Amino acid sequence: MRATTPSQDLLRGIWKENPVLIQMLGLCPALAVTNTVKNALAMSAATFFVLTCSSVLISSVKSLIPKEVRISSYILVIATFVTLADMMLQAYAPVQHKELGAFIALIVVNCMILGRQEAFSSRNTVYRSLLDAVGVGIGFTIALVMMGGFREVLGIGTFFDIPLFGPNFEPWVVMVLPAGGFLTLGFIILAMGVFEERKKARQAQAQTQGDAA
């Protein structure tokens, strides 16, 4: 196991190993409920809560969980916190709860959360698991809000319910439909591919210049 500093634990999940954009985990909520920024935020908040609580709990009882049944135990812990999140949203944000519908319950099967438990919380201390969960949670939020932003601005012409373009804007309705989700994520990933390619080309150039000098 490679040693990392606490700040690395926190920062890694935000961009370098972003769960949605790099690792392609938790795609279903990222595509299904990001038609507006508000929905994206509510979904990220619920996921953040479940991820952080499960990481802390699992890393604190990790020595009590037998290896053979660890996945089932993780799932049970996650399901408990999802039930809590579901009830809390229903009580405090009934409108968002209705909008998100079944997707709150579907946080249980978000592979990102289970993945963090298996890959990190089951082997590290409570403090580091907390940092890791917060980092990954922020990364997830960034990805979702980014997608929600693109889709809401193009598809409805508003950002966080604030109209941006005036009355003559013809909304690009397809962006708030499921097809728009696929296309938005596809284009984001293509754009990231372009940046990556340029970075590599620059490095190769620097390399050859260095060799020449």
* Binding of other proteins by 106 (CB under 8 A): yes
* Token pair 């370098």 in the structure block, residue: 16
For other proteins, the closer of residues 161 and 196 by Cβ is 196
* Binding of other proteins by 83 (CB under 8 A): yes
Residue 187: name the closest of 156, 151, 159, 155 by CA. 151
Stretch that binds other proteins, among 22-30, 129-137, 144-152, 203-211 (CB under 8 A): 22-30
Stretch that binds other proteins, among 58-66, 121-129, 132-140, 184-192 (CB under 8 A): 184-192
Q: In angstroms, what is the minimal distance from the CB of 170 to other proteins?
A: 18
* Binding of other proteins by 65 (CB under 8 A): no
* Binding of other proteins by 88 (CB under 8 A): no
DSSP 40-80: HHHHHHHHHHHHHHHHHHHHHSGGGS-GGGHHHHHHHHHHH
Residue 135: name the closest of 38, 1, 19, 25 by CA. 19
Q: In angstroms, what is the minimal distance from the CB of 197 to other proteins?
A: 6
Question: 104 and 79 in contact (C-beta within 8 Å)?
Answer: no
Return d(Cα 205, Cα 209) in angstroms, integer: 6
* Binding of other proteins by 41 (CB under 8 A): no
For other proteins, the closer of residues 18 and 110 by Cβ is 110
Question: Angle between the 37-60 and 126-155 helix axes, to the nearest 10 degrees?
Answer: 170
Return d(Cα 80, Cα 54) in angstroms, integer: 9
Stretch that binds other proteins, among 53-61, 70-78, 136-144, 158-166 (CB under 8 A): 70-78
Q: Looking at residue 186, what DSSP letter applies? A: H
Residues of this chain that bind other proteins (CB under 8 A): 24, 27-28, 31-32, 71-72, 75-76, 79-80, 82-83, 86-87, 101-102, 105-106, 108-111, 114, 174, 177-183, 185-187, 189-190, 193-194, 196-197
